[in-house]
Structures are given as structure tokens and as C-alpha cells.
Amino acid sequence: MKYQFPENFWWGSAASGPQAEGIYEGDKKGESIWDHWYEEEPEKFFNQVGPEKTSRFYKKYQEDIQLMKQTGHNSFRTSIQWSRLFPDNTGKVNQVGVDFYNAVIDELIEKDIEPFINLYHFDMPMWLQEKGGWLNRNTVEAYTLFAKTCFELFGDRVKKWFTHNEPIVPVEGGYLYQFHYPNEVNMKHAVQVAYHEVLASAKAIKIYHEMKLDGEIGIILNLTPSYPRDEANPEDVKAATIADAFFNRSFLDSAVKGEFPKDLVDLLRAISHLPETEIGDLAIIKENTVDLLGVNYYQPRRIKAEESDEKLAQGPMPDDYFDNYVMPGRKMNPYRGWEIYEKGIYDILTNLRENYGNIRCFISENGMGVENEERYINKEGVVEDDYRIEFVKDHLAYVHQALQEGSNVQGYHMWTCMDNWSWMNAYKNRYGFISVDLNQEGKRTIKKSGHWFKEMTSQNGF
């Protein structure tokens, strides 16, 4: 079967500032929560590789953008590090950082690769985290200043903006399940953090539209479909609906419809966990919805009715309302411990078409992390990652089916371009189209998947 995609489909990959740039003498970048946490507890990071040792994009961006061209990119998403632009609380912009981002944006455009720029990718500046980070309402104002500054500096050339990448992750990681700083387990704090992220996003969208810039602004959400163990069992279905409210609809409904899911609000009200709000907030959220939605898809969530009495914490947790279900016979990526379920990408796009006004969207991340990829290096020094080619093809087949049925999906970005640093996992699993040799000054080599991607995108299909 031939899978043909529309003209002007966005082909490319995604990365982030903190995961790709690195830290260098004289770059005047301030400390983020990741820099701070690595200094405090380096042993928490795989092989003790910290954020200063990332993929050296700060120095190698010209070479990397050339490699994007060679791997068939017409678009590329990255993020602006808040702590690189505003290194401290003086409100003064770091001109060295501005020059770097200008150079990256100009280089992308010169090579006919459209820059997609995200503002927040889990990297709270430490000077703000010390005042509470997203828990503190003042961070919303600091964020809107950051956003406005970015629009002013780069909005003449950047036409695709995103307010947050996966805003549920700082909530889950930082305030529920302890895989992001500040590592709390406190659902009341988690709810407040989520609320402030939603409000900050809406305020940034408002500013962007008021500035009359001729681009569009959206948000990137990791949508993880919640499938009940048994569709015929009302308890399983109810549990899956609650999981979906917590992890998907919380940000999806507020971003696209401008309102919070009623079932989630009712649940939080019943346990006295509603966030603190101010008059006028809900109107701002209602009136400033996204122009465009980025969808990150990696894995499904399998849910059954709550069966275990085990408590994850003293206070309430989302997990009090459902249990995770291990589906027999599921296909796994053993390195990441994630189920591979390609149809999930189709189910998300169908849901957006049927229940969210068929909003213009694109697959903003999809990828496969594999450990010890050096096992697959051939005589020419190329990683033969046929498993990655198969993974992309199998997902694109379902994107194609959604397109045939009328989905408004505009593109597909792989995570990631060149292997990059991945939070606490550092370089444990590799995701890139291009390998990075940490022992040889970050030497780049295009993998088999990168050559395949070039061939596929030049034909707009496979």
C-alpha cells in the first residue's frame, strides 16, 4: 500500500533547549531547576550525566541544521530556555542568549526549515523556583513577560509558537510522582500548579493575538488515551474516564474549549482540592484558546477499576480512582518500559475530530528510545535502526488513515533530531535520527532512519 501525504505536510523533529543546548563559559545563562538538581543530587541522573553535557547544539547548531536538511526536515521545533533569556530576577535580558536564538532562527529559515518555537519545556529558572515556581501566582506574570519578550524579539520571523510542552508533566513529576524537581507528593499543590500553567498559557495567547503578529500560537500536549480493561464493565469505563480527566482533558479542554472538564472540577470540589483563583481568570481562559494543537504520543494508558488498597501518599492522589492494567500480549519497548500501540495515534486524532471541533493539529512528538544502539553500528559506522523506521511507518499508517477520514492533522515531528539528554535518564535511551558520540566531542552520524526519513519526506509518503 502507498501512503501519500498532503503537499506542505510538516515533516521534521522536535527537541528542547535544556535537552540539546548545553552550558558554556560566557553564555551568561542562569540556573534552571535541572542545573540545580543535578548539582544537588548527580547520582539521580543516569551515569551522572548532567544538563551541562547535553548535545552541544549551542556550539553545533549550524552543523545540526545542515544535518536536518540532509534528513528531510522542512520544520523543526525547539524551545527557548527561560533561564537563558532571563538569567536572574533583575528583568534584564541576556543579550548573549538573544544573539544565539536569533542565529538559530535565521539559520533554520535560510535552510528552508520552519522554526516552531516553544516557550516552556519543564525548565523553571531557579530564581523563580525559590519563590515557589508554578505554585506562586507571580510566576504567571513572570511567564507572560518572558512570552511577550520572545514575541517581540523573534515574532517577526517565527510564525509557529507554543506556550508549553506537556504541561501535565511538571504536575506529575514535580508534585505527584517525584521525577521532577521539587519532588513533592502533594495533590493540592499539583492542582494549583496545573491551574497556573493553564492561566499562563491563556495570558500568553492573549498577548500574542493583541500584538497582531502574523503567525499562530498553540500548546503541545502529551495525549495518552485511557483504555478501560473491559468496555462492557461500567466500573472500568468510569475509572478510565477519570484517568482521562486528570491526565488528558485537564489541559486539552482548557486549551481548546477554554473550560475545565466538569467531572474533574466536581471531583476536586468533593475533596476540597479546587485551586485558588482570581476574578476574571476563567474569562481569560475561555477567550484565549489555541490556534493550533501539538500532540505528543508515545503510549496508551490501560485502566481498570480500583482494586488495590495500596495508598501512594498520605493525602488524595489521582490513583485513588483507578488502577493501571497490564494488558496480556501487549507489544513493548523493553528499554523504556512503554507499550507500543500504534492505533492510539489514530484514536487521538479521531477524538480531536469528533469532540474538539477538528482543531488544526500535528503530531509534535512520537519516538522510540533504545538503549545501547552501538550494537547496531555497521562497518560504515552507521546505526542500522530498522526498528525505528518500522515504528515511524506503523504510526504514520494510522496518521494517514485519520487524514483519509477528515482529520485536520498537518504534520509529523519525530522525537528527536540528534540523540539528546533526557532529564534523569540522560543518554540512557537514544531517540535521534542522528547519533551523538559523547566520547568524541559529540560527533554526529546520520542513522539509517535519518536517511530513510529524507527519502520518505522527499516523496511525501512511503
How many residues does this entry show for the chain?
462
What does the block give as the cell for 368?
522510540
Selected catalytic residue, list 31, 114, 342, 365: 365
If phi over 0 gives left and psi between -120 and 50 gives alpha, with beta otherwise, what is residue 166? left
323-324/301-304 β-pairing: antiparallel
Closest CA to 302 of 395, 249, 240: 240
Strand partners, 338: 333
Report the distance separating Cα 195 and Cα 216, nearest Å: 23
370-371/434-437 β-pairing: unpaired
Concerning whether 107 is annotated as a catalytic residue, the answer is: no
Question: Is 409 in a helix, a strand, or coil?
Answer: strand
Report the distance separating Cα 398 and Cα 412, nearest Å: 12
Is the Cβ–Cβ distance between 222 and 323 less than 8 Å? no
Question: Helix 187-210 vs helix 138-154: angle between axes, to the nearest 10 degrees?
Answer: 30
DSSP assignment of 136-202: STHHHHHHHHHHHHHHHHHTTT--EEEEEE-THHHHHHHHTSSSSTT----HHHHHHHHHHHHHHHH
Q: Which helix (H) or strand (E) holds 437?
A: strand 434-437
Alpha helices by DSSP H, listed for 259-339, are: 262-270, 281-287
216-222/114-120 β-pairing: unpaired
Alpha helices by DSSP H, listed for 316-427, are: 343-355, 386-404
Residues acting as catalytic residues:
365
